[in-house]
């Protein structure tokens, strides 16, 4: 298996005192070709582990992908997750809550899409949007945020008590790289469909949003459910880091194929 070492993965662990102090363009002395080959080697092992997770149905993992627009949440899903067995995979992309979702508690739409035991769930954006995007979109007031923060803490504690481990990744992108990727989308028809008018507003509010995310990452980072701040100016490094973190979580589960009693014997089959 070719995942990155613990020392490097732990270097991405959020520092609550300064979540975004590190350079989003750092590469740890690694290179693109090595990363691509390593990810290709790691993918079959991840696939087997995910199938064993599904076969045992004792635990669940919830991969949370947050990050500014263009940071690569969709890219991680395509390059790391998409080859997994769909029986044991649940992927959800959360946009601005619709009218029905707004009539419920802000956690409601996330609670109903949690992975059951045996499943790998992937949230492209998550309940943390209720602390960042909802106030900016006028869906809640600043006065409501402390109660929402407490609700999220209780929610994650409940997940862990029910054998569902959240793996929280914030894909850190520099403002210059975000601008470059927006320019790419404007220039290329096969990328243009992803553009929304809100992307321009998000780019203009880059510093404000970074400040708010830094505050929330600091407040919600814990030993039980830590945040990892993934340098994402290099797509190839971003993907290898997330894949390696996912591999480490699967390693901790010490999975194997279940030793279940056979429902019938070879002799029974031969006699039929």
Q: Which two tokens stand for residue 72?
A: 């690569």
Distance from the first to the final alpha carbon of the chain = 43
Report yes or no: 106 and 134 within 8 Å, Cβ to Cβ. yes
Rounded Cα distance, 197 and 186, in Å: 12
pLDDT for position 82: 86
Residue segments in the chain with a per-residue pLDDT below the cut of 50: none
Find the largest Cα–Cα distance for the chain. Answer: 73
List domains and CATH numbers for the chain.
6-254 (3.40.50.300)
pLDDT for position 270: 92
Please provide the average confidence, as pLDDT, over all residues in the chain: 95
Rounded Cα distance, 168 and 244, in Å: 13
pLDDT for position 78: 95
Is 0.75 surpassed by the pTM of this model? yes
pLDDT for position 192: 84
């Amino acid at each position: 298996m070719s995942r990155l070492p613990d020392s490097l993965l732990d270097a991405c662990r959020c520092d609550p005192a300064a979540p975004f102090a590190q350079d989003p363009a750092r590469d740890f002395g690694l290179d693109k070709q090595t990363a691509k080959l390593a990810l290709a080697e790691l993918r079959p092992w991840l696939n087997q582990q995910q199938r064993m997770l599904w076969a045992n149905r004792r635990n669940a993992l919830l991969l949370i992908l947050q990050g500014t627009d263009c940071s690569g949440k969709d890219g991680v899903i395509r390059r790391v997750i998409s080859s997994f067995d769909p029986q044991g995979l649940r992927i959800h992309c959360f946009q601005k809550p619709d009218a029905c979702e707004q009539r419920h508690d802000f956690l409601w739409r996330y609670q109903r899409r949690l992975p059951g035991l045996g499943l790998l769930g992937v949230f492209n954006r998550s309940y943390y949007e209720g602390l960042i995007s909802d106030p900016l979109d006028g869906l809640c007031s600043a006065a409501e945020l402390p109660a929402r923060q407490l609700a999220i803490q209780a929610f994650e504690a409940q997940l862990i008590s029910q054998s569902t481990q959240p793996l929280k990744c914030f894909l850190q992108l520099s403002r210059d790289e975000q601008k470059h990727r927006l320019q790419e989308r404007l220039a290329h028809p096969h990328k243009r469909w992803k553009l929304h008018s809100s992307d321009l507003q998000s780019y203009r509010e880059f510093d404000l949003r970074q400040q708010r995310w830094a505050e929330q990452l600091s407040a919600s980072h814990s030993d039980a459910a830590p945040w990892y701040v993934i340098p994402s100016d290099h797509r190839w490094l971003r993907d290898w880091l997330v894949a390696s973190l996912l591999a480490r979580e699967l390693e901790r589960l010490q999975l194997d194929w279940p030793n279940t009693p056979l429902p019938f014997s070879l002799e029974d089959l031969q006699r039929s």
